[in-house]
């Protein structure tokens, strides 16, 4: 669990926030995952929007709350939790009903969620290349300077390497864009993941068996975003496609991705062409 300690937090006002507060952005995949989880749990929460396209997450106020500069963030009775999957597992313990992590499978689910999180930068690469497709560098140098300089720079009291990884990601994007080679490698990773999910779904209606779980929420978000990017889910992984459509019919899911539409950008080559699918 990544709960911050006092010295990590520079924006002190959050320490006095009572109840469940979520700092998030409508179109962020990790925020969508957390909001669907909160909907299914029926947990009341207070919303604090952080405008990622306006680089609000690189401003001192937000970095004073999450030194990593990422959404979502949970503040529960003044305690600050970061990392969407850790937030979800914390909330599952704190608000156990209805269960979204099957009893006795906590460690297995934690490992599967870690694996899902490892693919986050691949999802981001494909999102920026085929969905958002900004005409120039996605993050201006001034915003990245503020990112580098603001916040405590520590997580649980230790110098945090994650922010360096994030900055390197954006600097590389500024230098070379999101190349065919990177996009192809990321798409192929998802192809093997979806193949595995397709096999699971041959034997059971949900990824962990007969009941919906946090794993369905997490992978729904990836499947939805990749479909938006032009990934041929229906053709390559028909069971994953049908499962995604089934979840999309539920209001708890649909309402959180309703605003995520593919902007009318000009994509020179489609994901199918780049990946060779
Ligand atoms: N491992 C983190 C990843 C969080 C993350 O990368 N969030 C994205 C939005 S989905 C973000 O804040 N991006 C910052 C930006 O685009 O500037 C988590 O699961 O919370």
pLDDT reading at 147 higher than 80: yes
Q: How many domains does the chain have?
A: 2
Banded pLDDT at 260 (limits 50, 70, 90): confident
Residue of the CA atom closest to atom 12 of ligand 1 = 70
First CA to last CA distance, the chain: 38
Q: Is residue 155 domain-shared with residue 94, that is, in the same domain?
A: yes
Q: Quick one: pLDDT at residue 262?
A: 63
Q: Looking at residue 268, what is its pLDDT?
A: 77
CATH at 48: 3.40.30.10
Same-domain status, 30 and 123: no
Cα distance between residue 262 and residue 258, in whole Å = 11
Mean pLDDT, the chain, rounded, equals 96
> For residue 3, how many other CB atoms are within 10 A of its CB?
17
Could you tell me the two tokens for 257?
A: 């991705």
CB 143 within 8 A of CB 58: yes
- Token pair belonging to 239: 């069971």
Cα 213 from Cα 151, distance rounded (Å): 34
pLDDT tens-digit series, residues 69-85? 999 999 999 999 999 99
> pLDDT at position 264, please?
57
Whose tokens are 């299914």? That residue is 40
Separation of 218 CA from ligand 1 center, angstroms?
A: 14
Alpha-carbon span 185 to 208, nearest angstrom: 27
pLDDT reported for residue 263: 59
Tokens in use for 200?
């699971």
Query: How many A from CA of 134 to the centre of ligand 1?
Result: 18
Q: 205 with 103: CB under 8 angstroms?
A: no
In a domain, 163, yes or no: yes
233 and 194 in contact (C-beta within 8 Å)? yes
| C-alpha 3, offset from chain centre | 18
Residues with C-beta less than 6 Å from any ligand 1 atom: 28-30, 52, 57, 70-71, 83-85, 117, 120
With bands split at pLDDT 50, 70 and 90, how would you rate the model's confidence at 17? very high
Return the number of other C-beta atoms located less than 10 Å from residue 169's C-beta. Answer: 16
pLDDT at 228: 95
CB proximity list for 13: less than 8 A, separation 6 or greater: none
Enter the pTM of the model.
0.97
If asked whether residues 154 and 188 sit together in one domain, one would say: no
Q: Where are the beta strands (DSSP E) in the chain?
A: 20-24, 46-49, 73-76, 79-82, 154-155, 158-159
Residue range of the domain that includes 73: 1-98+138-176
CATH number (domain holding residue 237): 1.20.1050.10
Assigned domain for 104 exists:
no
In this structure, is residue 124 part of a structural domain? yes
Ligand 1 center to residue 70 CA distance, Å?
A: 4
Q: What is the pLDDT of residues 150-193, one digit of tens each?
A: 999 999 999 999 999 999 999 999 999 999 999 999 999 999 99
Q: How far apart are CA 177 and CA 191, in angstroms?
A: 22
Cβ neighbors of 267 (< 8 A, separation 6 or more) are 129, 130, 133, 230
pLDDT at 261 over 90: no
Give the residue from 242, 20, 267 showing the smallest Cα distance to 127. 267
Query: Cα of 249 to ligand 1 centre, how many Å?
Result: 26
């Amino acid at each position: 669990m990544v709960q911050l300690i006092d010295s990590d937090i520079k924006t002190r006002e959050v320490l006095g926030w009572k109840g469940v507060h979520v700092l998030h952005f409508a179109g962020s995949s990790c925020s969508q995952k957390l909001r669907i989880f909160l909907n299914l749990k029926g947990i009341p929460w207070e919303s604090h929007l952080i405008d990622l396209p306006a680089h609000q997450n690189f401003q001192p106020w937000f970095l004073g709350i999450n030194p990593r500069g990422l959404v979502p963030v949970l503040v529960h009775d003044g305690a600050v939790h970061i990392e969407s999957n850790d937030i979800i597992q914390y909330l599952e313990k704190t608000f156990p009903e209805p269960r979204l992590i099957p009893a006795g499978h906590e460690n297995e689910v934690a490992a599967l969620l870690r694996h899902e999180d490892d693919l986050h930068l691949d999802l981001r690469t494909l999102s920026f290349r085929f969905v958002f497709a900004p005409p120039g560098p996605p993050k201006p140098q001034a915003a990245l300077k503020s990112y580098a300089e603001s916040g405590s720079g520590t997580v649980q009291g230790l110098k945090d390497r994650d922010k360096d990884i994030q900055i390197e990601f954006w600097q590389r994007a500024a230098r070379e864009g999101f190349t065919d080679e990177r996009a192809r490698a990321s798409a192929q990773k998802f192809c093997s993941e979806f193949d595995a999910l397709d096999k699971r779904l041959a034997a059971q209606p949900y990824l962990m068996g007969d009941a919906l779980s946090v794993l369905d929420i997490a992978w729904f978000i990836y499947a939805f975003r990749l479909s938006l990017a032009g990934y041929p889910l229906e053709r390559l992984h028909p069971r994953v496609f049908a499962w995604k459509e089934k979840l999309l019919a539920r209001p708890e899911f649909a309402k959180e991705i309703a605003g995520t539409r593919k902007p009318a950008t000009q994509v020179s080559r489609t994901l199918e062409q780049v990946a060779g699918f």
